[in-house]
Amino acid sequence: MRLIRQFNRLRQLNRVILRHGLDDYFARSEARFMFKLARFFQPWHSNRYPEHSKEARLMLALQALGPIYVKLGQLLSTRRDLIPPAIADELARLQDKVQPFESALARRIIEQAFDTDIESLFSEFHEEPLASASIAQVHAATLSSGEKVVVKVIRPGIEKVIQRDIELMYTMARLLARLSTDGRRLRPVEVVADYEKTIYDELDLQREAANQALLRRNFAKSDKLYFPEVYWDYCHRNVMVSERIHGIPIGHIDELKAAGVDMKALAECGVEVFFTQVFRDNFFHADMHPGNIFVDASNPKKPTYIGIDCGIVGSLSRDDQRYLAENFVAFFNRDYRKVAQLHVDSGWVPPETSVEEFEGAIRTVCEPIFEKPLGEISYSQLLVRLFQTARRFNMEVQPQLVLLEKTLIYVEGLGRQLYPELDLWQTAKPYLERWLKEQVGLPSLVKALKENLPYWAEKLPEIPDLVYASLRMASREQRATEVRKAYPARHYLMGISGAFIIASALLLSLLGLGEQTALVSGALGAVGGALMMKGWPEA
């Protein structure tokens, strides 16, 4: 049954390509003969859109193929350094101009979700959608209590479409992994599995509401990024209601300039917001295409970003966070040996990799790009060259970093449009250096002590019993005899003293939570631990 579905999907791909005249794109490639043959045997699949430009037909074809291909178009629309402007302009329409579904269907979905008529939920509901995207569409409404809101509704039947595409992607990934050495190194099956989880999470609007609430809380005291309030009483798996925001779409450059927005400040703010989410919060919005970002220009000199559509988010392990930050800083400092060593230490390349050879290869790729403004640097082209270099050293794709890489590409694309002269490296470097210092310095120690204090306080009542049990064991004649032969009595005194010092440190922590108290108790704990280690016999 699955093979039949996949065969039908391949037939649909062929049909869409021919009906939209996309074989024009292959007129000068090796695939030209194949498409000519397909047209010869399927003359009924003629170009249905001859009045549209080739670029517009590409946009319509991606829209016809479904949400996965729409998202590909959204990503490409931000990369005007990689694709012609005419194509980028057309693909930009995929960000929030996907063909909407009928409003009557939206009403029915909302009423079924809350088991009541729509008039009892909203005093006003606009039938015409505000925006329509690949997964859902949005309607304006007013709550009975008077708040202006937007209602997001999942497209009916979209899950079946996604399931069909995911199955086809798995088949192609397995073939790639089986038939190609490079394919196995890219771990395509794991990448598809990661994407499958991401896109199915995006179908659950309750999960998206939770993501948005956390992002809003993370930036509650910030004037750089704002997320709308979620109205939890009106949220369901396929319906979500949140505060209606007003701002200038980030892609409307002329409108931003007309409002007097400081484009340099806006671009630098975007870089800081990205790195803040990744490193400070370890929770980042991973679908930052222009359709999901607006600008509050009420203060043009200090504009504020507004983020929506939080269905796709990402986070990293502590180790990946630290390795990434150290890699970035090493890149900025042109310390290619440290970059190579970090890749080995992290396990991203095999442990037998020659650090010297890897260092030379990285230097060859990266050295030409530095000390250039963002307008002259292509992160995507850098990734391609690094990929080619990594192939020599058997570096495997890290699925957990895929979302981060995609988000960074979006950030670069936006920065390129807002302020091409922005120096991405110099903007990010001070922030990353400050974050690394906080992770390994004295503030990090104080933070760790405070975080562990509740656990230590919970275990504090058990320490006397543990000390008593240890003393009973030590008093047993056979144990005492064995220990006296190998260890002087003073070692026991040190071990017992260490235990009591640790207990004192914990008690001191309970009496005061200031930084000085935490440092003193931490120091006592460290001394006590050293005494116990020195005084306690090895097994």
Catalytically active residues, by annotation: 287
Buried b (16+ CB within 10 A) or exposed e, 107-135: bebbbebeeeeeeebbeebeeebbbbbbb
- Can you read off the two tokens belonging to residue 36? 């000519």
CB atoms within 10 A of CB 415: 22
**What backbone phi and psi angles, to 5 degrees, belong to 288?**
-90, 50
Rounded Cα distance between 63 and 380, Å, is 24
**What backbone phi and psi angles, to 5 degrees, belong to 470?**
-65, -40
**CB distance 275 to 289 below 8 Å:** no
Instruction: Name the 3-class secondary structure at 510.
Output: helix
Residue 507, amino acid: L
- Can you read off the two tokens belonging to residue 120? 């009892």
Q: In the chain, count H helices and then E strands.
A: 23, 11
Bridge partners of residue 131, in order along the sequence: 138
Q: What is the DSSP letter of 252?
A: -
**CB distance 156 to 101 below 8 Å:** yes
Q: Which residues touch 187 (CB under 8 Å, ≥6 apart)?
A: 177, 396, 397, 399
Rounded Cα distance between 307 and 298, Å, is 16
Rounded Cα distance between 426 and 434, Å, is 13
Angle formed by the axes of helices 158-179 and 188-202, nearest 10°: 170
- Can you read off the two tokens belonging to residue 279? 């490193």
Residue 158, amino acid: I
Sign of the CA dihedral 395, 399, 403, 406? positive
- Can you read off the two tokens belonging to residue 253? 């450059």
Mode of pairing for the β-strands spanning 122-125 and 293-296? unpaired
CB atoms within 10 A of CB 496: 18
Residues 520, 526, 528, 533, Cα dihedral to 10° = 180
**What backbone phi and psi angles, to 5 degrees, belong to 133?**
-120, -170
Residue 90, amino acid: E
**CB distance 508 to 474 below 8 Å:** no
Residue with tokens 């222009």: 290
